[in-house]
Amino acid sequence: MHGNVLEWVEDCFMPWHHPEKRTGGALRFESREFVVFKGGTALAGPWQARSAMRVGPPPSNDGQGSTFRLVRELDAE
């Protein structure tokens, strides 16, 4: 999803491809050394304004330019 802020997601950041990611679920490790922010931000350049963009700041990051999105499932009627 494109937006004006980074979205903090459930995955842990891995700078390499990890085989466990193929399950389609979130990649989690107990250490949670690095979190994942995805999407673009108004504070970055246009090349970062895409849903595939990922960064992995440490959890101690103050979160400038990041947020989370609320999701609600709808009944399929």
In a domain, 72, yes or no: no
In a domain, 62, yes or no: yes
- Residue of 6, 4, 60, 52 whose CA lies nearest to 33: 60
In a domain, 52, yes or no: yes
In a domain, 73, yes or no: no
How many domains does the chain divide into?
A: 1
Cα–Cα dist 29/48, whole Å: 26
In a domain, 26, yes or no: yes
Q: Give the pLDDT confidence score for residue 64 in this predicted structure.
A: 61
Average pLDDT over residues 52-74: 70
The answer to whether the predicted template modeling score (pTM) of the entire model surpasses 0.85 is no
What's the length of the chain?
77
37-41, 57-61, 67-71, range with greatest mean pLDDT: 37-41
DSSP category for residue 43: T
In a domain, 46, yes or no: yes
Domain of residue 58: give its range. Answer: 6-67
